[in-house]
Amino acid sequence: MSFKNSKAERTTVTRDAVELEKNTGNIYESIVMLSKRANQINAELKEELTNKLQEFASSTDNLEEIFENREQIEISKFYERLPKPVAMAIDELMNDKIYLRKLED
């Protein structure tokens, strides 16, 4: 999934609880669903960032190389500016991009 084009808010926004529970019918199920999706997004972002930063890894780092690697710094700054995983999960829920799948007995 491309998180670079996410339209999620980058700041704190007050949410309407009724809107959050609209898809599931239960606010607690919605919160659990959002937390699980946020964890998935966070894991994907972390893996993507780790893979990009491994390109710059070397066995012999000295202080000059660490502070002068501008590409690595720019990649890190880009990922820091992305919306938080919870905001992305809420955006996906509000736009009906995720759903709750229940296992019925």
Tell me the per-residue pLDDT of 29-63, one tens digit each, with 9 for 90 and over: 999 999 999 999 999 999 999 998 888 766 665 65
Residue ranges per domain, the chain?
A: 17-94
pTM of the model: 0.80
Q: Is the confidence at residue 105, as pLDDT, over 60? A: no
Spatial contact of 4 and 52, defined as CB atoms under 8 Å apart:
no
Structural contact between residues 89 and 38, judged by C-beta atoms closer than 8 angstroms: yes
What is the rounded CA–CA span in Å between residue 42 and residue 57? 22
C-alpha angle with apex 48: 42 to 78, nearest 5 degrees?
Answer: 85
Residue type, 52: K
Contact 47, 1 (CB under 8 A): no
